[in-house]
Amino acid sequence: MKFETQRAQDSAGWHLAQAVLLAGKRLAKGTVLSPEQAEALGAQVVQVFQLEPGDISEDAAAQALQAPLFGAALSLTPARTGRVNALAAQAGLVVVDAAGVGQFNAVDEAVTLATLPDRQRVEAGDLVATLKIIPFGVAEAVIGKARPAQAVVRVQPLRRQSVSLIQTQPETVADRVLDKARDALQARLSALGSDIVREQRVEHRREAVAAALASDRADGATASDLVILFPGAATQDRRDVGPSGLVAAGGGVTHLGMPVDPGNLLFIGTHEGRPVIGAPGCARSTAFNGFDWVLERACADLFPSASEIQALGVGGLLKEIPSRPLPRRKA
């Protein structure tokens, strides 16, 4: 692409790179100067550009890249000034191929893609990503090189989950504490389009947890997609009541602990094909914490692996919950 700063009278047939005034009227950026306009502007210095053979315009370049870049559950705006915006077509979680985005942005300085963070929750209509072509034109060869083999960003829609809640109750824990945990969970689930279909409250014993899990699975009428196990006391070891009860019921603990605070004392596992989340104490509060990240993923059928939990440390220091019994700075 040619890009010059020169007299307007020498620029007939060139595109304006910046808007100018002619007889009190604005000639917009991108306008192709006619001989009459160029002559009327005279010796005024303007910035102009011309595409060369093998170049395509910024809008054409953006249009050529939008389909390969953007995946499911996204609606795309028409290309304008070299930009295409990708909006969530429905509520869900953003799924980003971070390596793919990095490779795309490294192809050439002419092409850029910015996205929301991976696994960020969005509502329908939210801006998820923006593709921007930087110059007014770009070589077709660059577009060919930048085109990815598969989409690098999409939205994974939320899916209604039927949730079984099992709470353990030590003798020192009042019913109102369990009520608070249930109400906070239901508020979260309602926002995600899911519901508690069954609640069991049992003694704070491994055997009681195992029996509750077996009972829940045996009742075909209320079999759930997801189990939330809410121990009445903090879980700090795989031999604690929650994790050991899950194992005693024939399930497994995938990972215990999370590099997210509040939310450190969470564990994940499975029971007869269903995902299980062992909730940390902070989940009794409706304030955002690490439990929300895991629950959102579960409700989008993106239940995290142990390695995905371990990768949450960067950005995992969240705002402290005011009601926390032992604040971080006093621990």
How far is C-alpha 101 from the geometric centre of its chain's CA atoms?
A: 14
Q: Are 280 and 264 in contact (CB under 8 A)?
A: yes
Structure tokens at 256: 């215990």
What residue type is assigned to position 224 of the chain?
Answer: S
Please state the pTM of the whole predicted model: 0.92
> Residues with Cβ < 8 Å from 189, sequence gap 6 or more?
161, 163, 195, 196, 295, 299
Give the start-to-end residue ranges of the domains of the chain.
2-50, 55-157, 162-323
- Series of mean pLDDT values for 10-residue runs along the chain (331 residues): 96 96 95 97 96 97 98 98 98 98 98 98 98 97 97 98 97 96 98 97 98 80 86 96 98 98 97 96 96 98 98 95 76 71
Cα 194-115-120 angle, rounded to 5 deg: 25
pLDDT of residue 321: 83
Q: Which residues is 267 bridged to in the sheet?
A: 256, 278
CATH fourth-level superfamily of 162-323: MoaB/Mog-like domain (3.40.980.10)
pLDDT of residue 225: 95
What residue type is assigned to position 154 of the chain?
Answer: R
Query: Could you give the 3-state DSSP secondary structure of residue 129?
Result: strand
Pairing of strands 226-230, 274-278: parallel
What is the assigned CATH class of domain 55-157? alpha beta
pLDDT of residue 127: 98
Residue appearing with tokens 């947890």 = 209
pLDDT of residue 13: 96
Q: Are 246 and 213 in contact (CB under 8 A)?
A: yes
Closest C-alpha to 184, from 329, 284, 256: 284
